[in-house]
Amino acid sequence: MSTCLAWYNKHMRIYFSGIGGVGLGPLAELARDAGYEVLGSDARQSLTTAELQQRGISVNFDQTGAALRAAHQEQPIDRFVYTSALDPNHPELALAASLGIHTGKRDELINHLITEKGVKLIAVAGTHGKTTTTAMMVWVLQQLGILVSYSIGSGVSFGPSGKFEPTSQYFVYECDEFDRNFLHFSPALSLITSIDFDHPDTYPTQADYAAAFSQFIAQSSQVIMWDRDTVINVDTQPSTWRLHDNEVMDFAVAGAHNRQNATLVTKACEYLGIGDAAAIKAAVESFPGTDRRFEKLAEGLISDYGHHPVEISATLQMARELSDHVALVYQPHQNTRQHQVRSGYTSCMELAEEIYWLPTYQSREDLNLPILEPQELTARLTNRNSVVYSQMDDELWNRITYARQQGKLVLCMGAGSIDAWLRDRLTKDL
């Protein structure tokens, strides 16, 4: 057995730091399914940590290092897996190194599972739509009677967010570009949902971002993507199946972007030789969706993870298919990111009758950058007169309640604290 794989065995004990994150949560469930002992920590409780605890996984909310030390003393930890968002000086990471625990990120464990189990990797990459498309791919395969292992960056109603099936042929993975994660993989099939520009903390320029996707495409045996996404060297890849806009299939699902995602999934099934057209269409149209992606929390109240101008525009378009009157509550994500995307805040919110703009949720910030205030971010909006600068407080909740009472659809968007706040207010109103 090679040195890098020697620590993998059926008794391996893995500690996940940041186990409640969208990347590590599903991976923890995968590891448990694969027969490893799993435990971990996170800074706060969440829907993901609750899901993990329900499966019997021990989750500690003290990240000072005390929980890791105690667990290691009780029985040695073989592997410390941490999220890309973890500070290099994080107490648990420093302690793991000092204790001689093998440390690494999620890609190493995933690659091991793919290699050891002999499954084919179906990777879903792209700037927008990865989570929905990954979940839809998993759902369709399951409806067609195909056993599948998977990792989805959100909760789903039809199973855990990560699952390993010992006899599966395929592993469907939400393969994100943050921290250049997707460049660690060589998929048998890659679906690319869209390519814009994102994660300026990882990619200094748009050219750097495009180059990473070009490399990912080159590492994939087969790619299905949209012709409109011009990426360096795509034309030189004979294994790239480029779809045109007129090939979007007419599915009975809300949202133009979701019909595009469904088309990618359908073409993937066609490439794999799985299912007939009628069965695939029925499976796609019965897809129940995912948590935080246009998730209905209550009548007239939708929560969505989107926090990029392109995502806002697409999600509002979807909302308007369902209602003629849409109010938007928006929490920008990361001040560092706002410096990159602020130019996109022009016409992306035109389909909203009213906009409640919250302060930016700050995380992993470049402290050298000035904080962009809401008034600065909205300066270019074509419907700036519709903006009400707000806080997550009683006044905002009263406005949301009034809009719903008027029959409006209230769409709340953001990747920060907005979703938890909404759920908490709903609980208190019961």
Are 161 and 139 in contact by the 8 Å Cβ rule? The answer is no
Residues 195 and 223: their CA atoms lie apart, in Å, by 14
Determine how many CB atoms are found less than 10 A away from the CB of residue 373: 13
Q: Domain limits at 319?
A: 295-429
Share of the chain above pLDDT 90, in %: 77
**pLDDT band at 360; cut points 50, 70, 90:** very high
Same domain, 94 and 235: no
* 11 pLDDT tier (thresholds 50, 70, 90): low
Residue 206 and residue 245 share a domain = yes
Do 301 and 226 belong together in one domain? no
Tell me the pLDDT tens digit for each residue of 114-128: 988 899 999 999 999
Q: Which pLDDT does position 230 carry in this prediction?
A: 66
Instruction: Give the model's pLDDT for residue 235.
Output: 56
pLDDT grade for 196, boundaries at 50, 70 and 90: confident
For the beta carbon of residue 414, count every other beta carbon within 10 angstroms.
Answer: 22
- Determine contact, residues 125/187, Cβ cutoff 8 Å: no
Same domain? 247 vs 349: no
pLDDT of 292 > 60? The answer is yes
Q: Tell me if residue 313 falls in helix, strand or coil.
A: helix
Model-level pTM?
0.84
Report if residue 75 sits inside a domain.
yes
- Confidence (pLDDT) at 4: 41
124 shares its domain with 272:
yes
The answer to whether residue 2 sits within a structural domain is no
CATH of the domain at 402: 3.90.190.20
Backbone dihedral angles phi then psi of residue 213, each to the nearest 5 degrees: -65, -35
DSSP per-residue string spanning 86-117: S-TT-HHHHHHHHTT-EEE-HHHHHHHHHHHH
First vs last C-alpha separation in the chain: 57
Read off φ and ψ for residue 149, nearest 5 degrees. Answer: -95, 155
Length of the chain: 430
**Joined tokens for residue 1:** 């057995």
| CATH code, domain with 230 | 3.40.1190.10
Distance between CA atoms of residues 253 and 21, nearest Å:
29
pLDDT given at position 231: 62
Residue 232, pLDDT above cutoff 70: no
Same domain membership, residue 337 and residue 267: no
Query: Is pLDDT at 229 greater than 80 in this prediction?
Result: yes
- Within a domain: 397: yes
> Which range in 77-91, 136-150, 215-229 is most confidently predicted, on average pLDDT?
136-150
Residue 1 lies in a domain: no
Counting beta carbons within 10 angstroms of the beta carbon of residue 116, is it exposed (0 to 12), middle (13 to 18) or buried (19 or more)? exposed
Last residue of a domain, one of 45, 80, 104: 104
Task: Say whether both 28 and 129 belong to one domain.
Answer: no
Mean pLDDT of 160-176: 93
Q: 234 and 114 in one domain? A: yes
The pLDDT assigned to 85 comes to 78
The set of residues, in sequence order, having a beta carbon less than 8 Å from that of 92 and lying 6+ positions away, is 17, 41, 63, 65, 68, 80, 82, 86
- Say yes or no: 195 and 154 in one domain: yes
Residue 426 makes CB contacts below 8 A (sequence gap 6+) with 297, 298, 301
Q: How far apart are CA 82 and CA 66, in angstroms?
A: 16
CB 52 within 8 A of CB 26: no
Tell which of 104, 134, 167 closes a domain.
104
Is residue 308 assigned to a domain? yes
Among candidate residues 85, 104, 123, the one where a domain is terminated: 104
- How many Cβ atoms sit within 10 Å of the Cβ of residue 13? 18
Same domain, 116 and 98: no
6 domain residue, yes or no: no
pLDDT at site 237: 60
Query: Cβ distance 224 to 241 under 8 Å?
Result: yes
CA atoms within 13 A on the CB side of 325: 9
Joined tokens for residue 207: 């050219």
Mean pLDDT of the chain: 92
Report if residue 4 sits inside a domain: no
Average pLDDT over every residue of 263-292: 96
Q: Say what the pLDDT of residue 173 is.
A: 96
Query: Which residues 6+ apart lie within 8 Å of 151 measured at CB?
Result: 26, 27, 30, 110, 134, 161, 162, 171, 172, 173, 174
Strands 37-41 and 58-60: parallel
Q: Taking phi first (over 0 means left), then psi (-120 to 50 degrees means alpha), and beta for anything else, what does residue 76 get?
A: beta
Pair (130, 217) in one structural domain: yes
- Residue 342's pLDDT is what? 96
Percent of the chain with pLDDT over 70: 95
Residues 73-112 pLDDT 10s: 999 999 999 987 788 899 999 999 999 999 999 898 899 8
Give the pLDDT confidence score for residue 277 in this predicted structure.
95
Whether residue 3 is contained in a domain is answered as: no
Between CA 311 and CA 344 the distance in angstroms is: 11
CA angle 227, 232, 233 (to 5 degrees): 85
Domain count, the chain: 3
User: How many C-alpha atoms does 198 have within 13 Å on its Cβ side?
Assistant: 21
Q: Which residues, 6+ apart, have CB-to-CB distance to 296 below 8 Å?
A: 302
- Residue 221 is classified by DSSP as S
| Cβ contact 392:285 at 8 Å | no
Cβ-contact 314, 175 below 8 angstroms: no
Q: Does the pLDDT at position 10 exceed 80?
A: no
Contact 216, 182 (CB under 8 A): yes
Do 273 and 302 reside in the same domain of the chain?
no
pLDDT in tens, 314-355: 999 999 999 999 999 999 999 999 999 999 999 999 999 999
Residue 151's SS3 state is: strand
Residue 418 has pLDDT above 80, yes or no: yes
Q: What is the mean pLDDT of residues 158-168?
A: 91
- The C-alpha atoms of residue 177 and residue 217 are separated, in whole angstroms, by 12
